Structure 1
Amino acid sequence: MIAVALAQIRIHWARFLAIGLGIALAAGFVATTLIINSSLQNSLEDAVGRSFSQADLTVIPDKDVFVGGDEVAPLLGPLAETEGVRSASLSARTLTAGRGSAFSESSFALSPVPADAGLDAFDIVSGERPQSTTDLVLDTRTAKSLGVGIGDEIRFTVDSVPVETGEEDMPVYRGPSHNSVTFTVVGLAQMGEDPALPGANRALTTASGYQEYFAQQGDVIAIQIALDEGADAERVRSKLQSVIGSSQLDGSLEALTVGDAVEVKTDRLSGGNAVITALLLVFAGISVVVAILVVSNTFSVIVAGRRRELALLRCLGASRGQMYGSVVAEGLVVGLLGSILGVLAGVGVSHALMLAAVRYWPEEFPYDTLTVPVSALITGVAVGALLTILATIRPARSAIAVTPLEALQPFDVSFAPSTRNRPRQLIGIGCLVVGAVLVIVSLYAVSAAQAWIIGGALGGGLIVTGLVISSVRIIPPLVGWIGEVLISPWGMPGQLATLNTLRNPRRTATTATALVIGVTLVATILVGGMSTKATLGHGLDQRYPVDISVPLSGLVADDSLEEVREIPGVAHAVSAHRAEAVEDYKDSRPEIYVIDPETASTVLGDSAADLVTGRVVVPEDYPDSTVRIRGLNEMNVPVHKEGLSSLAFFTTPEVGNSIGVSATSTAVLVRLDEDVDVDEISRIQQSVAEALDVPSGEVGGSAVARGAYSDFIDVMLAGAVALLLVSVLIALIGVSNTVSLSVIERRRENALMRALGLSIAQLRALLALEAVLISSVAALLGIVLGSALGIVGTRLLTYEYSTDLIVDFSVPSFLGILAVAILAGILSALAPARRAARLSPVEGLKLDY
């Protein structure tokens, strides 16, 4: 029977072509995901290894332990004095903001150079190593992107901290007026990428400069140890661990060999890669499920068309087991061939993605090591083969479901549900009912327990599962109704197209279901993501009705305030005084602004309550009748409960005078134009920081927060939709395959209609309308179901952040999805229509099918 299976594939290869393409896409997706994960992991390991390439031993912090550079400084001496150690150098990192004459404020990852030049993991290209406390060496890529050269100055923001100037000196407190230090660029070097902060601007300074200005903010990466020639590394490592054990950092640091340290660091940094791989595998799994539906439907049609041939083999002595094995063998061979081609294509796609990422997004994607593990190739082929075997089980069972005598009779394929399907239908309807009830209960109960978010997700999954199981009962009637309303008026081709989709309910349902799954997920992510973004923004405006706020430690100059007002996108900017809340409210310390009501009305959002003289405006659910605030004095002030502003409280100058608010505790409050785009917020934030001469990190407010998470959601949406398009493409291949096989099945019928007067144009229109009807109904159902699930997901995820649900429904996006479905339906019918048109009525009626 293997020979029979191979002969069938060879003779009817065109029927199996689309099956192989769907399998190739699914298997290639899986292989590409595993290849990308392996490449990211190896690239990360190479980057970590370069950081420790010159060391003999390393001392690194234990997992989840933060060790500051100032804490490690006292330990460097004892480690360096250990027998067998030539030198001990600190490897640390601080994220800080810097500003130069050639560029606006930018973030830097700043580190100290090793005390031992032999441990340098960078190459000086021009200039020299830093020597004095305020010398700076820039990475060549950073210098090029910022337009900075040797001799230029960069002013860095530093914390207000006490600085030990010497053992016998008193500490000097660096206050707000000394929170920036100017460094001079003395060299340029090739540093490579920081594996923990790919794309960050990198800079190096002396160990003393780092210790004085940045160690208090940063964290220790490692202590690199250089050994004396001939020293026993394991013996020295043991001694180093003893030194650590006798210090205050016992239990926080561990001495390791370089190889072990690289492995440990790589594992700690690879968490992000694991998340990416898990997400990709989820989308790959969705593609596999869709491919199973498409392959199963296509094989069912192929087997149904060969029922008489299979029955003849039964008459000639083939057993049920042999027939079953023959059909499964066909699927396995097609699956293996498709999987191999898909895996090979996955290797090529992975290589192309790596090259494109390195070329166009070098800062966001610095890894350039392509690794193709054998396990990824084997897994991709195995997934494709297993996918096909699972998809051919039902068609193989249908091949042996009738006796040879029954199958040799004139046969009109009928997929009408039988009594055997009643349990299946009951299960499907049960999933739909339970899922709907679970979603409704979750919407009401989520305010009491956050765990009901999982209940809502489970309910949505049950609804989709129920739709898949009960698709024969749901989709064909829907297709028939829409066909009667929209397709039948197109004359005889439209009426016949509607009837043809209803002749085979199971085939129509399975074909449409594959597309419904893909479109539902796309719609869920689009509506859910955009609605979540809009709802979070609305909730943030309610909780913090200030677009931009900048706390200051002095009076605001009129010129600076006027400069802020002239920034494009700024509607109003005013100065206010700040008081201090003594107690937390809802796990955070609210800002308290002292401002007169008339001025407040120009900068506060529409959701802000009106100010009341002599009172502090607090949210309506504030539990007490007074709030304790502090200026130069501390006192309880009566409250006015209105609105939802929980992150910022507002009061009038009368209260400020009562508590003696400090004249130097000020803030600038900014109201943006109503039509400011989210993409412009980052620019405005930088401009406000420059005008007020403060770090951009100190420029906050609801608009800044909204811009930050909006960008993140947009990136996630784009990535998710792009990945789901693979499953949609597989589903559309299924539509094309169904139409193609229906043409093969209905050759005599099409020939008879041609003989009765149906024109070639009408025949082509019939097939096109049939494909368009299935694909468009599936797309509509997916859009409706996905939109509903997206709205439910938004409510469940944002119930704590907003009292209102803001639904953001992108009409152009969904019209685009519907247009793609219609266009795909038309394109999928072109080749079958051409094949049907070439067959003359006389030749078609001669065929014995």
Structure 2
Amino acid sequence: MRTVLFASLRTYARRYAAAVVAVVAAVALIVVTNALTSATKSGLQAGLDAPFQNAVGGVEFPADEAIEKYVDQGGWPMGTSYQAVRTEKKQLGDRVPIGTVSTESRWQWQTLEAGRFPTASGEAVANAAAAKTHDVAVGDTIRVGSGANVAEVTVVGLVDAPNMWSSNLYVTWPQMQEWSDSYVPMLLTAATGSADDDWVASGELVDTLQKRLNNEIDVVAYMVLIFAAIALFVSVLVITNTFTILFAQRMRDFALLRAMGATKRQVLRSVRREALVLGVLATLLGLVIGALLGWGIVAVVRALAENAPLGDVSYEWPWLVGAGAMGVLTTLVASWLPTRRLMRLSPLAALRPQEGFEVRGAGRLRIALGLGIVLAGVAMMFFAVSVNDPFAGLMTVLLGGSVAFVGVMLLGPVLVPALVHLAGHALAVVSGTPAKLASANAGRNPKRTAATAASLLVGVTLTTGVLTGMNTIRGALSDEMAAQHPIDMVLQSGTEPIAADALGRVEKVGGVDDAVEVPGAVATIEPVGKGESAPLPLPVVAPPVSDVPLKEISVDEGTIVLPYEAADELFDGDQVKLALDGRTTTLEVKVDAIDGAARVSAETLAELTQNPKTYAIWVRAARSADAEELGGSLSAILPDADLANGKADRAWVELQLDVMTWAVVGLLAISVLIALAGIANTLGLSVLERGREHALLRALGLTRRQLRRTLAAEAVLLSAVAAVVGTVLGVFIAWRGSEVLLDGVVAGDDARFDMPVLQLVAVVLVAGLAGLISCVAPSKRAVKVSPAEGLALD
């Protein structure tokens, strides 16, 4: 039987192409995930212990009392804040990460690249990579902060820091304390501390941080492995279909072996050894390709993004062993059922002329079971909306979608051929006889047709579901971001009015579509009913009636809208007194995330002053304008005004959604490609199986061109039907899932389901086109056989 094994592998090597491609792609995806995970770990963990070199221990997120206590004992707080930063030339950003640097050498854990470390407040060092990007050099003066908390610091050095602790700019601790929104994620101590302060020794603290970082990276890796599992599942479908067709075509060979004395066990053992050899070879190839791709992808990312936190690639044996085991087991499992069905036939029955292998469709029990499972899955998805916990609700939707998908798979032998037959009649209006023949061919073996379409159905369902869900979430987040940042750019004055000619200069800046002056004044604010406190100065503006804002932002009379940073201990519904030039009015507080100064109604501003000045300019940017570049230009015109760049904030959120969407779609594309390889292989094997039939059609007058069109129509019909069914399933699952998310997490009852029609149409068209491409090689082989040669085939 060993001779039979090697002879079979040599004879049928080309027919196993799709199975090999499926296993190689799935295994390679797991190995690439290992490469990216290891590179990310090594990059982020490089220098993780650098700040602790001279520390005895530390406290994570210490209380103010602990900070004061340990600083007095010689400790060092690693403060962090996010502030607006601008140079004399341009705005570097509205929320730039700022860290702390010590004036004592023992706490200067950053690596000095140029210049020196600060020796006093008012001096700072900049991250060398960020300084290169923003054209910042030693000796430059940088304005940090906004409003009354603006500070000017001089860059005295450039430093390099580990990714874990990296910031764009480092200032002294006294400088950091001037900003109310700063916090201390880590406090380093020079001596042993108290357990009451959650003090931990340096070695133990570094180990904890390392484990936490590993877990966070591994979570991402596990998410990627979900897509690898999907690719493996699709691989099982493709390989199972391949073995089913191939073994059906080899029935006469197996029957002859049985007739010559081989037992069932010997034939089965030979076939399964054949699958094992195929799985091992494909797995080894997948491991090699995955390792090379992993190194290559990391190298490309490093070359394109210098700041990417990627270190050296190190392949870990659990990943490689796991990938190898799954590749081999996938092939063995996929070959198990076809061989069991095959050996049920007697040698004499298998030697009889047969056109195919198990051409029956689905039975009544299967249809009833499929319908019941589909209805159960749909019911679960509708029930998910009533679940209070959004995460549990989303999991219920995904579980219900999976259950419904299994039901559709069970109904496949009925559903897919029926849809192919229906689509074939529609296509026949355009292409005539080839489409009719194609739909008839697809319906002759319903189970094979359903299995071929099932692999593509998985990928399309997931892809369209992701696209639809992300598009809906994008719309909800865009509405939410537009509500939080309804103005593209806000130039806000602090205590002095904006110059009279500022509006004209702003309107001349390239990228500005429209601008409007906003009247306001500097009043004093005092809480009502919260004890005695000194009135504090507060710039207020009254939103004008203008089309510059993206959304309606008018303020009700008797209300003041305070930004979170100005609210301090005030909450919605509190009362405050607003006073200016001896005039006083009591207002109800509403705290919100707004750009610029506190807002009051025009009537309230008129009560406070009869002579309001311009304290802000609101800007609508052109759609094509670069947010960061435009912000820098406006800051250069009005360097004394604070810039709130709402367009940049919205663009950042959209960028994250784009990255997430395309990353997921890219991973799912692997399973789609595997499925298309399966369709090509199925057509190729079908061409071999139907050689006599094609020859008879050619003898009856079917031209080579018509035969190619028949095979092309069959591939397109299979792909398009799978794409349409998958799109319907994906959209339905995304509808239920996004409803759970939007109602519970993102945007509440005002959110709307937003279906990306053009993208979904593109998915169907691409699937059909890919199916057309997949039939090129099989159709070429089919037309090369002359009618006489074809009629002589077994």
Question: TM-score interval w.r.t. the shorter chain?
Answer: 0.7 to 0.9
Q: Which residue of 2 aligns with 1:413?
A: 356
Q: Which residue of 2 aligns with 1:436?
A: 378
Q: Which residue of 2 aligns with 1:46?
A: 46
User: Which whole-Å deviations, capped at 9, do the CAs of 1:313-343 have from their partners, x for residues lacking one?
Assistant: 3334444444433333222221111111111
Q: Displacement, 1:790?
A: 2.9
Conservation of the 8 A alpha-carbon contact between 1:552 and 1:667: yes
Conservation of the 8 A alpha-carbon contact between 2:417 and 2:446: yes
Tell me how far apart the structure 2 counterparts of residues 575 and 690 of structure 1 sit (CA, whole Å). Answer: 20
User: Which whole-Å deviations, capped at 9, do the CAs of 1:205-264 have from their partners, x for residues lacking one?
Assistant: 5x5655665798242545276xxxxxxxxxxxxxx43xx12xxx733221133xx44332
Conservation of the 8 A alpha-carbon contact between 1:536 and 1:802: no
Conservation of the 8 A alpha-carbon contact between 1:446 and 1:453: no
Q: Which residue of 2 aligns with 1:237?
A: none
User: Which whole-Å deviations, capped at 9, do the CAs of 1:255-288 have from their partners, x for residues lacking one?
Assistant: 133xx44332222334542232122111111111
Amino acid at match of 2:447: R
Q: Which residue of 1 aligns with 2:11?
A: 11
Conservation of the 8 A alpha-carbon contact between 1:45 and 1:262: no
Q: Which residue of 2 aligns with 1:827?
A: 773
Q: Which residue of 1 aligns with 2:565?
A: none
Bigger shift: residues 392-401 or 18-27: 392-401
Amino acid at match of 1:43: G
Conservation of the 8 A alpha-carbon contact between 1:2 and 1:326: yes
- Alpha-carbon spacing, 1:70–1:115, altered in 2? closer, same or farther (3 Å): farther
Q: Displacement, 1:546?
A: 5.6
Q: Displacement, 1:385?
A: 0.8
Equivalent of 2:156 in 186, 206, 209: 186
Tell me how far apart the structure 2 counterparts of residues 120 and 450 of structure 1 sit (CA, whole Å). Answer: 43
Q: Which residue of 2 aligns with 1:148?
A: 136
Conservation of the 8 A alpha-carbon contact between 1:688 and 1:699: no
Q: Which residue of 2 aligns with 1:749?
A: 693
Q: Which residue of 2 aligns with 1:85?
A: none
Equivalent residue of 1:331, what SS? helix
Tell me how far apart the structure 1 counterparts of residues 395 and 211 of structure 2 sit (CA, whole Å). Answer: 29
Conservation of the 8 A alpha-carbon contact between 1:522 and 1:721: yes
Matching of residues 271-310 of structure 1 within 5 Å? 271-310=215-254
- Alpha-carbon spacing, 1:842–1:626, altered in 2? closer, same or farther (3 Å): closer
Conservation of the 8 A alpha-carbon contact between 1:27 and 1:384: yes
Equivalent of 2:279 in 335, 343, 351: 335
Bigger shift: residues 475-484 or 553-562: 553-562
Q: Displacement, 1:501?
A: 1.0
Q: Which residue of 2 aligns with 1:250?
A: 196
Q: Which residue of 1 aligns with 2:531?
A: none
Equivalent of 1:111 in 85, 93, 100: 100
Equivalent residue of 2:143, what SS? strand
Equivalent residue of 1:476, what SS? helix
Bigger shift: residues 102-111 or 16-25: 102-111
Equivalent residue of 1:47, what SS? coil
Q: Which residue of 2 aligns with 1:518?
A: 459
Conservation of the 8 A alpha-carbon contact between 1:603 and 1:671: yes
Conservation of the 8 A alpha-carbon contact between 2:541 and 2:615: no
Equivalent residue of 2:701, what SS? coil
Q: Which residue of 1 aligns with 2:674?
A: 730
Amino acid at match of 2:713: L
Q: Which residue of 2 aligns with 1:813?
A: 759
Amino acid at match of 2:38: S
Amino acid at match of 2:117: R
Amino acid at match of 1:195: M
Tell me how far apart the structure 2 counterparts of residues 741 and 410 of structure 1 sit (CA, whole Å). Answer: 18
Confirm whether residue 672 of structure 1 aligns to residue 620 of structure 2.
yes
Bigger shift: residues 91-100 or 819-828: 91-100
Q: Which residue of 1 aligns with 2:70?
A: 75
Tell me how far apart the structure 2 counterparts of residues 464 and 655 of structure 1 sit (CA, whole Å). Answer: 59
Q: Displacement, 1:71?
A: 4.5
Tell me how far apart the structure 2 counterparts of residues 291 and 638 of structure 1 sit (CA, whole Å). Answer: 60
Conservation of the 8 A alpha-carbon contact between 2:283 and 2:328: yes
Confirm whether residue 134 of structure 1 aligns to residue 122 of structure 2.
yes
Structure 2 unmatched ranges of 5 or more:
529-537, 562-571
Conservation of the 8 A alpha-carbon contact between 1:414 and 1:503: no
Q: TM-score, normalised by structure 2?
A: 0.85
User: Which whole-Å deviations, capped at 9, do the CAs of 1:721-778 have from their partners, x for residues lacking one?
Assistant: 1111111110110011001100111122222222333222222222222112211222
Matching of residues 207-286 of structure 1 within 5 Å? 217-221=182-186, 223=188, 240-241=191-192, 244-245=193-194, 250-257=196-203, 260-286=204-230
Tell me how far apart the structure 1 counterparts of residues 556 and 40 of structure 2 sit (CA, whole Å). Answer: 58
Q: Which residue of 2 aligns with 1:349?
A: 293
Equivalent residue of 1:195, what SS? helix
Conservation of the 8 A alpha-carbon contact between 2:739 and 2:753: no
Equivalent of 2:57 in 56, 59, 62: 59
Conservation of the 8 A alpha-carbon contact between 1:58 and 1:222: no
Amino acid at match of 2:21: L
Amino acid at match of 1:371: S
Tell me how far apart the structure 2 counterparts of residues 818 and 211 of structure 1 sit (CA, whole Å). Answer: 55
Amino acid at match of 1:774: L
Equivalent of 1:496 in 437, 457, 463: 437
Matching of residues 540-619 of structure 1 within 5 Å? 541=482, 553-557=494-498, 558-560=500-502, 563-564=505-506, 566=508, 568-577=511-520, 595=542, 599-603=544-548
Equivalent residue of 2:48, what SS? helix
Q: Displacement, 1:787?
A: 2.9
Amino acid at match of 2:139: G
Tell me how far apart the structure 2 counterparts of residues 391 and 825 of structure 1 sit (CA, whole Å). Answer: 23
- Alpha-carbon spacing, 1:122–1:440, altered in 2? closer, same or farther (3 Å): closer
Tell me how far apart the structure 1 counterparts of residues 332 and 640 of structure 2 sit (CA, whole Å). Answer: 64
Tell me how far apart the structure 2 counterparts of residues 122 and 612 of structure 1 sit (CA, whole Å). Answer: 51
Amino acid at match of 2:88: S
- Alpha-carbon spacing, 1:40–1:798, altered in 2? closer, same or farther (3 Å): same
Q: Displacement, 1:704?
A: 6.0
Equivalent residue of 1:600, what SS? coil
Conservation of the 8 A alpha-carbon contact between 1:570 and 1:670: no
Matching of residues 444-459 of structure 1 within 5 Å? 445=386, 451-459=392-400
- Alpha-carbon spacing, 1:843–1:452, altered in 2? closer, same or farther (3 Å): same
Q: Which residue of 2 aligns with 1:739?
A: 683
Tell me how far apart the structure 2 counterparts of residues 304 and 817 of structure 1 sit (CA, whole Å). Answer: 33
Tell me how far apart the structure 2 counterparts of residues 636 and 309 of structure 1 sit (CA, whole Å). Answer: 92
Tell me how far apart the structure 2 counterparts of residues 695 and 432 of structure 1 sit (CA, whole Å). Answer: 61
Amino acid at match of 1:744: L
Equivalent residue of 1:398, what SS? helix
Tell me how far apart the structure 2 counterparts of residues 520 and 492 of structure 1 sit (CA, whole Å). Answer: 31
Tell me how far apart the structure 2 counterparts of residues 42 and 208 of structure 1 sit (CA, whole Å). Answer: 30
Confirm whether residue 99 of structure 1 aligns to residue 86 of structure 2.
yes
Amino acid at match of 1:151: G
Q: Which residue of 1 aligns with 2:27?
A: 27
User: Which whole-Å deviations, capped at 9, do the CAs of 1:9-62 have from their partners, x for residues lacking one?
Assistant: 22210111221111000011112112321232233222314555xx2654132x
Amino acid at match of 2:769: L
Amino acid at match of 1:277: A
Conservation of the 8 A alpha-carbon contact between 2:31 and 2:290: yes
Equivalent residue of 2:373, what SS? helix
Tell me how far apart the structure 2 counterparts of residues 459 and 103 of structure 1 sit (CA, whole Å). Answer: 52
Equivalent of 1:631 in 546, 555, 578: 578
Q: Displacement, 1:483?
A: 0.9
Equivalent residue of 2:775, what SS? helix
Tell me how far apart the structure 2 counterparts of residues 773 and 351 of structure 1 sit (CA, whole Å). Answer: 39
Equivalent of 2:320 in 367, 370, 377: 377
Confirm whether residue 794 of structure 1 aligns to residue 754 of structure 2.
no
Matching of residues 440-479 of structure 1 within 5 Å? 440-443=382-385, 445=386, 451-479=392-420
- Alpha-carbon spacing, 1:612–1:104, altered in 2? closer, same or farther (3 Å): closer
- Number of residue equivalences: 761
